[in-house]
Structure 1
Amino acid sequence: MLLLAFDTSTRQSSIALSSEEALLGEYIWNAGSNHSVELLASMRRLLIDCQITLPEVDAIAVATGPGMFNGVRVGVSAAKALAFALQKPLLGISTLDGLAAQQYYWRGPICSILEAGRGDLYTATYRCIETSGDEGNIYFSIECIDEPGLLPPPNW
């Protein structure tokens, strides 16, 4: 299964292509507030570099925020358009969940924090759960233990 995923919810944008076995390629760039400028060009470059055509992609994933309004709008709109045009499944992933999932090896609480603008922060707290799978594989998942919220200054 080939998954094309992108995140335009923060100033740092990214796009990645992965199979079930490995990350095939990724691009990360500083989009600032111009997410639409580089997204499609980066996707094209990534697919060419990985020698994959867009119809070969099996699913599209996109970060759904919280984050920069314009960035989320650009990413979700592009993902919906691609999924519709290609008739592929579309997966939405919370930006806070995605940050926490990167720390799957950590056994303590995981707190995802994103800048919300105007001095506010988006936060959510998670814990990692390890489960045994088939053929001796170990799988990890995250569980939100403190619902996402907005933390205004000076509380942080």
Structure 2
Amino acid sequence: MSHRDLETLPGHLIRRLQQIAVALFTASMAEADIDLTAVQFAAMLTLRDHPGLDQQTLAGLIAYDRVTLGGVIDRLVQKDLVARETSPTDRRARILTLTGEGRAVLDRAIPFVDQVQDDILAGLTDAEQETFVTLLSKLTRAGNELSRAPLRGAEKP
């Protein structure tokens, strides 16, 4: 398949959709008066589902660069949304958990994030949405190892 027009380049279209998704997320959080980025939300949601993770494992579960995630966690700790403690079994590791305030903010954010997902897919029928998400999942799994921050520990069949 030849992709000589910008409008048909998959990489360009994926980048554009990412721009749209981030804009929708940012606007939604501002509307809700919630100070969260998409990566902060992903980290908090994962910590809700897997309390007591270390930063390295969290980075793998959200496919985010471990070093960059440190800054994300620093901001969440400063906002009192995440607690970070030294691991009792490995003094080099930092164990992360949501605070009560973090859980409350996450609970407030979830309905807005759900709406953002609907807005991202709004141009597709229900059947197209299901197919699109299936294909996106397939592509991200197939290219996982090509990423500078591959998904780790959450692989699904």
* TM over 0.5, shorter chain: no
Higher helix share: 2
Normalised by the size of structure 2, how large is the TM-score? 0.25
- Bigger CA radius of gyration: 2
Normalised to the residue count of structure 1, the TM-score between the two structures is 0.25
